[in-house]
Amino acid sequence: MKGFKRTVVGLAELETFREVLVDYEVMVVTVLDAILDRYEKHPEYHFIDTKLSMLTGEDFPVLADQTRDFKSRTAIYAWIQGRGLEALVGHARWLDRCSVLSDAEKTERRERLRRMIAEVFEQMESIRAKNHGRLFFTMTPEGEPFALDETGRRRPIRLKGRSCGFSDLFYAKGMLAAASFLKREEKIDEAKRCFRSVLSDIRQERFADVQISFDRKNVRRAAPGRFPQGPRMIAIGGCALFAELSDEDEWFEVGETLIRGLTEEHLNTGQFDELEPYDYFEHRDADGEPWKENGQVLSDPGHSLEFVGLAAKFLLLLETRDQKTTSQTDLLERCRALLPKVFVRNFRNGFNERIGGICKSFDLISRTPINDDMPWWNLPETMRAAAELLILCPKAGERADIVRALVACSNGFMTRFVNPDAHLMAYQTINAAGKPVDVIPATPDADPGYHTGLSLIDMLDCFAKLGG
pLDDT digits (tens, 9 = 90+) for 397-438: 999 999 999 999 999 999 999 999 999 999 999 999 999 999
* Residue 452 pLDDT greater than 80, yes or no: yes
Which residues are registered as beta bridge partners of 374? 430
- Parallel, antiparallel, or unpaired: how do β-strands 361-363 and 357-358 relate? unpaired
* Residue 219 pLDDT greater than 80, yes or no: no
For residue 287, the 8-state DSSP code is T
For residue 160, the 8-state DSSP code is T
Are the beta carbons of 272 and 265 closer than 8 angstroms? no
DSSP 38-106: HHHHSTT--S----B-TTT-PBPPPPSSGGG--SSTTSEEHHHHHHHHHHHHHHHHHGGG-SSS-HHHH
The C-alpha angle with vertex 19 and arms to 14 and 23, in degrees rounded to 5, equals 125
* Residue 66 pLDDT greater than 80, yes or no: yes
The C-alpha angle with vertex 80 and arms to 78 and 84, in degrees rounded to 5, equals 120
Helix axis angle, 103-130 to 78-94, nearest 10°:
150
What is the reported pLDDT for 152? Answer: 85
Confidence class for position 468, pLDDT limits 50, 70, 90: low
CATH 1.50.10.10-classified regions of the chain: 230-442
- CB environment 197-233: b (16+ within 10 A), e (fewer): bbbebbbeeebbebbeeebeebeeeeeeeebbbbbbb
Can you give the length of the chain in residues?
Answer: 468
What is the reported pLDDT for 222? Answer: 74
Q: Which of 230, 146, 213, 229 is nearest to 442 (CA)?
A: 213
pLDDT digits (tens, 9 = 90+) for 76-128: 999 999 999 999 999 999 999 999 999 999 999 999 999 999 999 999 999 99
pLDDT digits (tens, 9 = 90+) for 248-273: 999 999 999 999 999 999 999 999 99
Q: Does domain 230-442 have CATH number 1.50.10.10?
A: yes
Report the predicted TM-score, pTM, of the whole model to 2 decimal places: 0.97
DSSP 263-281: HHHSB-SSS-TTSPTT-B-
Distance, CA of 289 to CA of 13 (rounded, Å): 39
Half-sphere exposure of 288 (CA within 13 A, CB side): 9
* Residue 334 pLDDT greater than 90, yes or no: yes
- Please return the burial class of 184, using the count of CB atoms within 10 Å of its CB with bins 0-12, 13-18 and 19+: middle
DSSP 330-379: HHHHHHHHHHHHHHHHHHHHHEETTTTEE-SEEETTTTEEEE--EESTHH
Which residues are registered as beta bridge partners of 156? 146
Distance, CA of 333 to CA of 337 (rounded, Å): 7
- Please return the burial class of 17, using the count of CB atoms within 10 Å of its CB with bins 0-12, 13-18 and 19+: buried
pLDDT, the chain, mean:
95
The average pLDDT across 327-340 equals 98
Residue 438's CB: how many other CB atoms inside 10 A?
11
Backbone angles phi, psi at 388, to 5 degrees: -65, -40
What is the reported pLDDT for 2? Answer: 79
Are the beta carbons of 171 and 134 closer than 8 angstroms? no
Residue 96's CB: how many other CB atoms inside 10 A?
9
Contacts of 190 (CB under 8 A, 6+ apart): 175, 179
- Helix, strand, or coil here: 229? coil
Confidence class for position 215, pLDDT limits 50, 70, 90: low
